[in-house]
Structure 1
Amino acid sequence: MADDISFSDLDSDGSENSEETEIIVNVGGVRQVLYSDHLNQYPNTRLAELMNCLPGGYDIIFSLCDDYDPGKREFYFDRDPDAFKCIVDVYYFGEVHMKKGICPICFKNEMEFWKVDLKFLDDCCKTHLSEKKEELEEIAHRVQSILDDLGVDSSENRWKKCQKCIWKFMEKPESSYPARVTAVLSFLFILTSSVVMCVGTIPELQVLDSEGKAVEHPVLDKIEIACIGWFTLEYILRLISSPNKLHFALSFMNIIDISAILPFYVSLILTHLGARLMELTNVQQAVQALRIMRIARIFKLARHSSGLQTLTYALKRSFKELGLLLMYLAVGIFVFSALGYTMEQNHPETLFKSIPQSFWWAIITMTTVGYGDIYPKTTLGKLNAAISFLCGVIAIALPIHPIINNFVRYYNKQRVLETAAKHELELMELNAGDRKGGSPKDEPSYLSRKGKGDPQWRSQLKVSFSDTFIHFRSDDKHHRTRLRSCK
């Protein structure tokens, strides 16, 4: 029988097997001869199973490979030959190195196909794999967020639907034209409030109160009240519509928002009620200190500026470089201030009274500011100053380049992820159009679903025709018979 094939039947010459059996594998047109003593080191891998399955018949053979030539004893696999060349190294070197230019996710899928454990992947390659996984998770999160905005859950009550609409209106300007107008209006209120704060300090625009003290013009106060009213309304709407109010309250940007609003109301309460509880002078000092807190409003611009957000995230990722910069400067400041004090203390007109006082001179010298309020007068002191600002330039220049690279890398990454998310949605739309039998311009099925609980709507999230498969809240594994190139 054809299924009762044996080792001797598979041999072209019918001779007995030698201790070291060889097989020929053809992966994507690339032939390679492998030996049993190498493959049997890892018996759980696909190639080792293939070596040991020959006496079992064709059914078992074809369950492990795509095709088989009994005359040549050659096994055919429709897989990526470049990835196979890297994976087969595990039988010779005990580890796998990923070739440059191969998609890490596709390489991981290839290792799973050949049943080679990921623990054999070298640490340097695991880093690339983890980075790629994070990118795909970010893309999946963005696509999921967009689809959540497009879908409407019929099981939600009216208040939940209204809450979601308000949240989308306040937090996502790209969702609609009115939301975009509201975001621009909020941006103008922030600029107006900042300009009013600056203009109110000009003496020519101030007026005298009943006690003869200069205060801000009443018109500027009315503009300030209007801006505070807008900020308050905006914050309350966002707080009410927030799906997670604790996370909303503890968010950094929302803390800035509340810091820009509260000083106005606290100063208002102190002005009208605080005079009865404490001296008027103390009340005025407290109000003045709170009015300075208005400068926090300028940070609200980061909510409407992707560039400022990118700068913030880049600085977070550059803590190590910033720490090195501060360490270099701290060491230099301590050394050169001590040398400056020692060299200048015997001069009759010395400006270096103590080492702590010399810290200020070392700071402005190493940062090349040079106010000139403190300067050396001896020859050795001037030489020390020259060396200090040269070392300062070098200390500042060394970590700057990695910080700039972090900013550029993160900025480019965000643009790529945004483009990838849009590309993924377009592919899902094409997929939906093909399934409906219509043209790609037809309305996608995930837009016409009434409820997100629809299993067919969920299937749109699980599978897409992108080059790299992205999981959406599913543990299902999808295998492809042909490896697509990852671009």
Structure 2
Amino acid sequence: MWGIPRTRYADCSSSEASEEIEIVVNVGGVKQVLPGDLLSRYPETRLAELLEISSESFDAVTSLCDDYDPVKGEFYFDRDPDVFKCIIELYYYGEIHMKRGFCPICFMKEMEFWKIDADFLDECCKSSLTEAEVEMSEIAEKVKMILDDLEGDPDAGRWQRCQMFLWKLMEKPESSLPSRVIAIASFVFILISSVVMCIGTIPELQVKNAEGKCVDHPTLEAIETACIVWFTVEYLLRLISSPNKVDFLFSFMNIIDFLAIIPFYVVLTLTYLGNAVMELSNVQQAVQALRIMRIARIFKLMRHSSGLQTLTFALKRSFTELGLLLMYMGIGIFLFSALGYTMEKGHPETLFTSIPQSFWWAIITMTTVGYGDIYPKTTLGRCNAAVSFLCGVIAIALPIHPIINNFVIFYNKQQMLDNAAKHELELMALRAGSEALGKESQKFLKSCGSVGLWDKVMRAQSDTCIPLVEEVSQSTPVSSSTDKDE
């Protein structure tokens, strides 16, 4: 199909004659002979328009191609020849497939140049395009957040500027050195509080109060109080500086922070009011129950650990696999506990007294823990136990790979977004010079949405740039085939 032209281009203005001619196109140094009847199948495309302009002026010809040689009858296009091989499939097969290794955004630019509607792209390729557009919008949103952190809103009032400064100080460790110091101090206080909570349970380090009961050492209580004061001040400052108080209060991590703080004050209140309000025994039970909630503060480490955050998001994306794992284990536990009870109930020294009581044996057997507190004593029971732990290994191993794969995908995506955002900031600085992150750019960025942000920014800064993100219609996942040549 790709080769030396066999016929010369002939002037013709009628559709009947276009079926008898051939045109020669030279795309990136590769010549292609295209029959007129083949191109006439899609008259709105750029190649089909070449059939109708032979008798017109040279300017009309060059408006559709980069150059034209009337002697050789060749239309020259300074485009990617490999992509053109995919484009030409439309005229032969009625659809376009995007080959592996092509950038979806750049491929759509090529389709727009050749005036081919995106609906002709195969469905499998549209999904790749959608994923690329989502990634570009996420990169644009991340860059927009970085730019907002650098300058903020110049039109904001004094209180809004103070609020934004406090918010960046408490929530964005990468924004400045003081905010990084605060993040490290918060991390240290979390570790100290967790260690003190564990050490306080050692009997040798406890002291007796006036009633003869063991309580925490006064030094440990002082350290615990200092940690709680830090957590309280940190929580209140973040709440005051939060742009959206409702979202802040109902955020998962902020709920964890609240649960790590409130038990201390409730215990303090019950300790002082317990004698007058209720019996001391009830107060002590409530105090012990609330003190257990202090273990929630260990989850505060997720705020300062990107690895824990990645693990959390990966588990959220793996709910289907985790559900399958629980379903497999639940079926196996019910089945093998019932079989174990049936096979062991006739033995005089049986440890399987009921099916619900056998659930514990089935759980520790299928998970290959095997405490040995409950075990079968008959031959059939041992065979049942052997099958149960083999099935347990298989049931656990099957969903593990998708869960690990989700973790790797999410982690690599986060790394890609961070690197891409830094790269785009460097490109912006190179294109716009030292004033790239000034007030005018900031105002312009704020007027742009997350999708199409880079398109607008790059068009404003350079007439020859290739936009990263294209405006996407809400009705279809891919952009329309309008000619956007500049």
TM range (shorter): 0.7 to 0.9
C-alpha distance 18-36 of structure 1, shift in aligned 2 (>3 A):
closer
Match of 1:11 in 2: 10
Q: How does 1:277-426 map to 2 (within 5 A)?
A: 277-426=277-426
- Cα deviation for residue 274 of structure 1 reads 4.4
C-alpha distance 252-129 of structure 1, shift in aligned 2 (>3 A):
same
C-alpha distance 291-171 of structure 1, shift in aligned 2 (>3 A):
same
| 8 Å CA contact 2:232, 2:261 repeated in 1 | yes
Q: Which moved more, 1:262-271 or 1:252-261?
A: 262-271
- Cα deviation for residue 469 of structure 1 reads 2.6
Question: Aligned equivalents of 1:404 and 1:159: distance in 2?
Answer: 46
- Cα deviation for residue 375 of structure 1 reads 0.8
Match of 2:74 in 1: 74
Q: Which moved more, 1:303-312 or 1:462-471?
A: 462-471
Match of 1:185 in 2: 185
| 2:447 pairs with 1:452 | no
Match of 1:469 in 2: 467
| 8 Å CA contact 1:24, 1:31 repeated in 2 | yes
| 8 Å CA contact 2:27, 2:78 repeated in 1 | yes
Match of 2:3 in 1: none
Question: Aligned equivalents of 2:254 and 2:162: distance in 1?
Answer: 22
CA RMSD after TM alignment: 3.0
Output the amino acid matched with 1:402: P
Output the amino acid matched with 1:58: F
Question: Aligned equivalents of 2:372 and 2:146: distance in 1?
Answer: 57
Aligned residues: 463
- Cα deviation for residue 50 of structure 1 reads 2.7
Question: Aligned equivalents of 1:452 and 1:474: distance in 2?
Answer: 23
Q: Secondary structure at the match of 2:187?
A: helix
- Cα deviation for residue 445 of structure 1 reads 0.5
Match of 2:142 in 1: 142
- Cα deviation for residue 80 of structure 1 reads 1.6
Output the amino acid matched with 1:19: E
Question: Aligned equivalents of 1:355 and 1:139: distance in 2?
Answer: 55
Match of 2:167 in 1: 167
C-alpha distance 468-382 of structure 1, shift in aligned 2 (>3 A):
farther
C-alpha distance 446-243 of structure 1, shift in aligned 2 (>3 A):
farther
| 8 Å CA contact 1:12, 1:72 repeated in 2 | no
Match of 2:35 in 1: 35
Match of 2:476 in 1: none
Match of 2:4 in 1: none
Output the amino acid matched with 1:431: R
Q: Which moved more, 1:364-373 or 1:466-475?
A: 466-475
- Cα deviation for residue 457 of structure 1 reads 11
Question: Aligned equivalents of 2:355 and 2:291: distance in 1?
Answer: 37
Question: Aligned equivalents of 1:358 and 1:174: distance in 2?
Answer: 53
C-alpha distance 448-325 of structure 1, shift in aligned 2 (>3 A):
same
- Cα deviation for residue 339 of structure 1 reads 1.6
| 8 Å CA contact 1:140, 1:472 repeated in 2 | no
Match of 1:437 in 2: none
Match of 1:130 in 2: 130
Output the amino acid matched with 1:100: R
Q: Deviations over 1:5-24 (max 9, x none)?
A: xxxx9618999936343222
C-alpha distance 71-275 of structure 1, shift in aligned 2 (>3 A):
farther
Question: Aligned equivalents of 2:384 and 2:167: distance in 1?
Answer: 60
| 8 Å CA contact 2:97, 2:122 repeated in 1 | yes
- Cα deviation for residue 277 of structure 1 reads 3.0
Q: How does 1:50-69 map to 2 (within 5 A)?
A: 50-69=50-69
Match of 1:252 in 2: 252
- Cα deviation for residue 60 of structure 1 reads 2.9
Output the amino acid matched with 2:10: D
| 8 Å CA contact 2:9, 2:24 repeated in 1 | no
Question: Aligned equivalents of 1:407 and 1:446: distance in 2?
Answer: 36
Question: Aligned equivalents of 2:384 and 2:102: distance in 1?
Answer: 54
Q: How does 1:261-276 map to 2 (within 5 A)?
A: 261-276=261-276
Match of 2:5 in 1: none
- Cα deviation for residue 377 of structure 1 reads 0.8
Q: Secondary structure at the match of 1:201?
A: coil
| 8 Å CA contact 2:341, 2:354 repeated in 1 | yes
Q: Secondary structure at the match of 2:443?
A: coil
- Could you tell me the TM-score, scaled by structure 2's length? 0.88
| 8 Å CA contact 2:310, 2:411 repeated in 1 | yes
C-alpha distance 37-454 of structure 1, shift in aligned 2 (>3 A):
closer
C-alpha distance 317-236 of structure 1, shift in aligned 2 (>3 A):
same
C-alpha distance 283-473 of structure 1, shift in aligned 2 (>3 A):
farther
Question: Aligned equivalents of 2:355 and 2:446: distance in 1?
Answer: 74
Q: Deviations over 1:238-284 (max 9, x none)?
A: 11111112111121111111111111112222222344333222222
- Cα deviation for residue 386 of structure 1 reads 0.8
Question: Aligned equivalents of 2:446 and 2:269: distance in 1?
Answer: 57
C-alpha distance 208-468 of structure 1, shift in aligned 2 (>3 A):
farther
Q: Which moved more, 1:199-208 or 1:60-69?
A: 60-69
C-alpha distance 317-468 of structure 1, shift in aligned 2 (>3 A):
farther
Question: Aligned equivalents of 1:416 and 1:302: distance in 2?
Answer: 21
Q: Which moved more, 1:380-389 or 1:27-36?
A: 27-36
Q: Which runs of 5+ in 2 are unaligned?
A: 1-7, 474-478
Q: Which moved more, 1:64-73 or 1:231-240?
A: 64-73
Q: Which moved more, 1:269-278 or 1:238-247?
A: 269-278
Q: Percent identity?
A: 66
